[in-house]
Structure 1
Amino acid sequence: MRRVDTGSPLAPSLWAATAEAAVHAPPLDASKRVEVAIVGAGYTGLSTALHLSELGIDVCVIDANEPGWGASGRNGGQVIPGLKYDPDELVRRFGPRDGETIVSMAGGAADTVFDLIRRHRIACDATRAGWIQPTHSTSLIGTLHARARQWEARGAHVELLDRAQIGERLGTEAFVGGWVDRRAGSVQPLSYARGLARAAIAKGVAIHGATRAQKLERSADGWRISTAHGPVIDARQVLIATNGYSDGLWPGLAQSVIAANSFIVATRPLPADIGASILPGREVASDSRRLLLYFRRDAEGRLLMGGRGPFREPRGASDWAHLERAARLLYPQLKEVEYEYRWAGRIAITRDFLPHLHLPAPGLTIALGYNGRGIAMATTLGKHLAAHLAGPTHGLPLPPTSIRRIPLHALQRFYISAGVAWYGLLDAMS
């Protein structure tokens, strides 16, 4: 078994072990002035920087570690359009005009990802075979089929699946039905993040790793970012894009989301006879439970299984045992297969399960909270954020909200545990 990835950029998660080479992102060695400064070199920051560079805007990105070090390089690699809420619910919440704008943005999010991959020739094992959402509960089939029809009514290529069809697509008899969204796909997520960084650098973007933003304050003509090791950045506008790794740079931001750990295991490349029976079409999948499991194959034929785990940082292989059990329950043929990688990363969960855009002061923009759909949503929001930062005439696709601290945030690990138990009970009863 490989060593556990507990957060060090050197620890070998599957993605760290197999990614394209890291980009050259040296620490900031001298103070500078730019038009836009971005804190955070994950998907949001990198996509925004790349799109800003295409608009001719001078931009600098800094990160406390390196591009893709956080959840952008540790997630399951599933590129899924849409949000947690169905299209009709978004229209009900935001009204016909704004609601349909949000639906269109979220529905086209995967298109943004694969278009960038194509245009910038990003090597990241991109596959667009679709996303399957299965259910183990007959009572939920109607809900899933209604979701599929809502997207179909808006032009999405979807298919409804019965028990036999879902079993054939997934290679397991554990589910009773579901649907498939053909807009979705998968990438090697760290390679994708590094590819965005490489494309941005080629367009003139300065990216500096090992450069922690320690203080953010107003200046005479914008903002000043003081870094932990000395140099400062003066910028007319600043974007904070730190998501689940947000700290105290801006008051209350870290306390406005739950930074929950998502855990993933990966088998060794499966033998041909076993591999042929599991996700033969190379779709990605995540089930309909509140405490969902998500799973896929990688380019070398491994099976990845992901889901929630302890809130604390992992301590050993036993913290992933529940995922290995779940994989064997779905696929008994994995009984003798060894697991080669185990790792985790923090995703930002918001109280309303929607991404949050904040404009807390003139010239300061904050984006975070993708609730497990960060590849597609963060990338596409980056395109819209770039347009917003480039000029005041461009509106944002989501209405900005104020930063609201989650009550008793310091106790989050305790009520997350209680919530996990409650949702587990609801899943068992459904």
Structure 2
Amino acid sequence: MVAGMSAPRGILWQTSCAECVAAPPLAADTDADLVIIGGGFTGSAAALEAAGSGASVVLLEAEEIGFGGSGRNVGLVNAGLWVPPDGLIEIMGEEAGTRLIEALGAAPDMVFDLIARHDIDCEPVRSGTLHCAHAPSGFADLKDRFRQGNRHGAPLQLLDAEKATRRTGATGVHGALFDPRAGTVQPRAYAVGLARAAAEQGARLHAGSPVSAIRHDGTGWEVVANGHTVRAGALLLATNAYHAGITGPFAPETVPVHFSQFATAPIPGHLRDTILPGGEGCWDTAMVMNSFRLDAAGRMIFGGIGDLDGPAGAIHDGWARRKLRALFPALGDLPIEHAWQGRIAMTKDHVPICGRPPPRKNTLTILIGSLAFICPACWCART
């Protein structure tokens, strides 16, 4: 338990998920137009897109739908990446970089449209996000991002320290960059809701089906799970940092990064109107990034880079209480009821990867490479 906790560790998003979907283990050989490995945002959104277009789809998930990073992350529906616009253009070139910037800028519309069209019960709140300056140097970085974003048509607003403090209710905020396009969701419910919608379109979902072999026979793909084979013309790998047991040309070249989160009991009513009264989701400019937001029940959910379940878990336990008191002194003694961690497959340049591993025949690997991967996942899946 974390100091001050009133309940054992556990993933809040699993406890409060209002969506459900049937996904029995693969129990027989089968054929499909498309086989998808991974039941998170990307895999489930791709299954929905493909099945809705008339393709026959089989999705294989080693654990349960939304088990990995999709069911453990912050739930920020952002309109961009860690890398600022000019950085993307430097990495990708003018044409490709500009195309990605425009696509990600429109991606929150795509996410919230999917939620509305498929009635996904995932606590959607489109009140924007606040990128908070943790220090004067962080505010200087936000000024630069503000100029870059506005140059590319993003409707960003730069808030000084006084306005940012009033919007967040937090101490130690030196300013913020507000993006009205963005918002928050209950991430596991969103992932499961996408899968449920995909199943309603005819996609066949199989959880508890870890993949043990992938091969191409010259005419199509064969994917083995639970001792059974799925034969398909096309293959999508969407496992992010939960790429267990898949080796060879299909193993991603990424660095696993852990992010731990903590959730308090609901904030008392007399404090609720002063802490994130507008419902924005927040993260900061620190090198070791931190995040904070509220859920529908009024819990404060906050976290930072680090592995709560690793050897330094006790350090993260202590950090949680100190961080809560530093940000929100009035919440310092509020019980912390949930604590969990997840992994992200961080790419070398923090830019999403859509690649084709050998033999490059009707196969695609998607790696998001960012904590804010709800929008990139949706965009990659649709693309």
Q: TM-score range by the shorter chain?
A: over 0.9
Change over 3 Å in CA distance of 1:250–1:55 after alignment to 2: farther
2:333 aligned with 1:333 = no
Q: 1:31 aligns with which of 8, 13, 29?
A: 29
d(CA) in 2 for partners of 1:89 and 1:46?
30
d(CA) in 2 for partners of 1:157 and 1:337?
36
Partner of 1:224: 222
Q: 2:7 aligns with which of 2, 8, 11?
A: 2
d(CA) in 2 for partners of 1:93 and 1:22?
40
Could you say what secondary structure the match of 1:245 adopts?
coil
d(CA) in 1 for partners of 2:250 and 2:169?
43
Change over 3 Å in CA distance of 1:118–1:347 after alignment to 2: same
2:187 aligned with 1:182 = no
Q: 1:88 aligns with which of 86, 89, 105?
A: 86
Root mean square deviation of aligned Cα = 1.7
Greater alpha carbon shift after TM alignment, 60-69 vs 302-311: 302-311
Q: How does 1:137-216 map to 2 (within 5 A)?
A: 137-216=135-214
Partner of 1:419: none
Partner of 1:363: 362
Which structure ranks higher in relative contact order (CA pairs < 8 Å, sequence separation ≥ 6)? 2
Letter in 1 for 2:8: R
1:329-360 CA deviation, whole Å, 9 max, x = no partner?
A: 11111122111111111111111111122212
Q: How far 1:313 sits from its partner (Å)?
A: 4.0
Partner of 2:3: none
Letter in 2 for 1:217: R
Structure 1 stretches lacking a partner, 5+ long: 6-12, 385-430
Please give the TM-score of this superposition, normalised by the length of structure 2: 0.94
d(CA) in 1 for partners of 2:314 and 2:293?
21
d(CA) in 2 for partners of 1:314 and 1:63?
28
Could you say what secondary structure the match of 1:268 adopts?
strand
Q: 2:234 aligns with which of 237, 255, 278?
A: 237
Partner of 1:8: none
Partner of 1:393: none
Change over 3 Å in CA distance of 1:191–1:170 after alignment to 2: same
Q: Is the 8 A contact 1:309 1:320 kept in 2?
A: no
Greater alpha carbon shift after TM alignment, 369-378 vs 229-238: 369-378
Could you say what secondary structure the match of 2:338 adopts?
strand
d(CA) in 2 for partners of 1:252 and 1:2?
43
d(CA) in 1 for partners of 2:325 and 2:251?
37
2:102 aligned with 1:104 = yes
Letter in 1 for 2:149: W
Greater alpha carbon shift after TM alignment, 295-304 vs 148-157: 148-157
Change over 3 Å in CA distance of 1:211–1:371 after alignment to 2: same
d(CA) in 2 for partners of 1:364 and 1:218?
10
2:381 aligned with 1:382 = yes
Q: Is the 8 A contact 2:262 2:340 kept in 1?
A: yes
Could you say what secondary structure the match of 2:35 adopts?
strand
Could you say what secondary structure the match of 1:179 adopts?
strand
d(CA) in 1 for partners of 2:333 and 2:239?
40
Q: Is the 8 A contact 2:308 2:340 kept in 1?
A: no
Partner of 1:260: 257
Partner of 1:272: 269
Q: How far 1:311 sits from its partner (Å)?
A: 7.6
d(CA) in 2 for partners of 1:130 and 1:78?
9
2:266 aligned with 1:291 = no
Partner of 2:320: 323
Letter in 2 for 1:365: L
Q: How far 1:134 sits from its partner (Å)?
A: 1.4
Change over 3 Å in CA distance of 1:73–1:220 after alignment to 2: same
d(CA) in 1 for partners of 2:310 and 2:21?
27
Letter in 2 for 1:373: A
Q: How does 1:416-427 map to 2 (within 5 A)?
A: none
Percent of paired sites with the same residue: 35
d(CA) in 1 for partners of 2:311 and 2:221?
37
d(CA) in 2 for partners of 1:378 and 1:254?
19
Q: Is the 8 A contact 1:263 1:307 kept in 2?
A: yes
Change over 3 Å in CA distance of 1:316–1:99 after alignment to 2: closer
Q: How far 1:255 sits from its partner (Å)?
A: 5.7
d(CA) in 2 for partners of 1:381 and 1:320?
35
Letter in 1 for 2:373: G
Change over 3 Å in CA distance of 1:255–1:157 after alignment to 2: closer
